[in-house]
Amino acid sequence: MDAIALTRTLLQFDTVNPPGRERDCARHAGAMLEQWGYKVEYHEYADRRTSVIARAGGREEKAPLCLTGHLDVVPLGTRKWAHDPFSGETAGDRLYGRGSSDMKAGVAAILVAARSMADKLPGTPGVVIVLTAAEEGGCIGSKKLAETQLLGRAGAIVVGEPTSNYPLVGHKGSIKFHASFRGVSAHGSMPQLGENAVYKAARAVAKLEAFDFKAKKHPIMGEPTLNVGTFEGGSGVNLVPDLAKIGVDIRTVPGVDHKKVLQRIKQLLGKAEMDVFSDLPPVWTAPDDEWIERVFEICKPVLGRKAKPRAATYMTDAANLLKVYAGAPTVVLGPGEAQMAHQTDEYCSMERIGEAVALYEALIADWIKN
């Protein structure tokens, strides 16, 4: 089965998250890897939320190359699709389906490269394939995986997220939190008897708007950002609201200390209750890293020129995997089209899927030769 046919097969598993249900897709991929001689383990952090870890080769002196992708996809959205999202319809060079670009084509390309290189791996540093559940909406699957011993080690990471086969050397980090402000309810005609939670939240929002990270601008990723995305409060126009809640999304760059940022924000919010539900560091490998230079070289024929250092706009599982694979140079490189991710009538270029297989094979070959 080639990578296009395999992408189609993967598209047919409904892994829309929520609810996720990656198990069947994960078992299918795992069974194939086992057939090709990989040692396969599964991790289920919740019912049917299954990740796959598969290894082949392995040598004491040098850790394996990690190739990783996620199995879940985002919901279909409210707009009607012209193409069936789960059957892998094609038109011209386009392969349609939810998750075609983000990122079942990437997973299929990783799997096909894993198959074609399997015979060459024994006695070499080898590879570790990590296919995660629950990446969309907070990288929960990889977060749980990084708390186990299952990941073992890896010397470098290739994340097959959609980049149109352009190698990206990192992405911003993120902190997401809710803050709740309490007040005292009273009749709207006698606000002096109450304590208005919306006023408290509004004052905090104004301070957040003016928040200064005091961070140095990153040469590629630029400045960290902060956005107040939600604001809720009050239950009736004639009541003094006793509760208001905001949702905040912070994107960080290398050099920003998440702990310090959170401390400063906590101070700024005063008595508000803060619930940090996502905290992922930025991912960044210096473009002059020796392995990254080789990755750029390997990508050159496909791109027609040498890649320039660029970063992804989105988060990836690498933020969690690096907690275990500390210091491993990391590249985001996959056949999907980034602008197609999460869109109605999402598609992937079939030509790019074939290119990605060749790139992954070349990256594995390069890794195991020394």
Q: Are 98 and 14 in contact (CB under 8 A)?
A: no
CB of 32 to Zn ion, least distance (A): 21
Q: Which is nearer to Zn ion, 161 or 346 (CB)?
A: 161
Q: Which is nearer to Zn ion, 200 or 251 (CB)?
A: 251
CB of 70 to Zn ion, least distance (A): 6
SS3 163: coil
SS3 241: coil
Q: What share of the chain is helix, strand, coil (3-state, %, to 5)?
A: 35, 25, 40
Judged by CB under 5 A, the chain residues 158 through 197 that form the site for Zn ion are: 161
Regarding 279 and contact with Zn ion (CB under 5 A), the answer is no
CB of 199 to Zn ion, least distance (A): 40
Q: Which is nearer to Zn ion, 103 or 169 (CB)?
A: 103
Q: Which is nearer to Zn ion, 58 or 160 (CB)?
A: 160
Neighbours of 186 (CB within 10 A): 17
Q: Which is nearer to Zn ion, 103 or 105 (CB)?
A: 103
Name residue, tokens 């985001």. 332
Regarding 102 and contact with Zn ion (CB under 5 A), the answer is yes
Stretch that binds Zn ion, among 29-37, 155-163, 207-215, 283-291 (CB under 5 A): 155-163
CB of 125 to Zn ion, least distance (A): 27
Q: Which is nearer to Zn ion, 272 or 321 (CB)?
A: 321
Regarding 22 and contact with Zn ion (CB under 5 A), the answer is no
Regarding 89 and contact with Zn ion (CB under 5 A), the answer is no
SS3 298: helix
CB of 149 to Zn ion, least distance (A): 26
User: Longest Cα pair distance anywhere in the chain, in angstroms?
Assistant: 80
Q: Which is nearer to Zn ion, 15 or 252 (CB)?
A: 15
Determine which helix (DSSP H) or strand (DSSP E) holds 139, and give its type and residue range: none
Q: Which is nearer to Zn ion, 141 or 281 (CB)?
A: 141
Q: Which is nearer to Zn ion, 103 or 151 (CB)?
A: 103
Partners of 195 in the β-ladder: 184
Report the alpha-carbon distance of residue 168 to residue 235 in Å, rounded.
Answer: 46
> Which position's Cβ is nearest Zn ion?
102
Stretch that binds Zn ion, among 153-161, 246-254, 274-282, 317-325 (CB under 5 A): 153-161
Report the alpha-carbon distance of residue 165 to residue 101 in Å, rounded.
Answer: 11
Regarding 337 and contact with Zn ion (CB under 5 A), the answer is no
CB of 224 to Zn ion, least distance (A): 22
Determine which helix (DSSP H) or strand (DSSP E) holds 143, and give its type and residue range: helix 140-146
Regarding 103 and contact with Zn ion (CB under 5 A), the answer is yes
CB of 15 to Zn ion, least distance (A): 12
Q: How many residues bind Zn ion (CB under 5 A)?
A: 3
Query: What are the strands, taking DSSP E only, across the chain?
Result: 39-46, 49-56, 65-70, 90-91, 94-96, 127-132, 156-159, 170-171, 173-182, 225-233, 243-252, 273-280, 283-284, 330-332, 347-349
* Range 27-31 contact pairs with CB under 8 angstroms and sequence separation of 24 or more: 29/71, 29/107, 29/111, 29/131, 30/54
Report the alpha-carbon distance of residue 52 to residue 54 in Å, rounded.
Answer: 6
Stretch that binds Zn ion, among 30-38, 97-105, 121-129, 147-155 (CB under 5 A): 97-105
CB of 128 to Zn ion, least distance (A): 19
Binding site for Zn ion (CB under 5 A): 102-103, 161
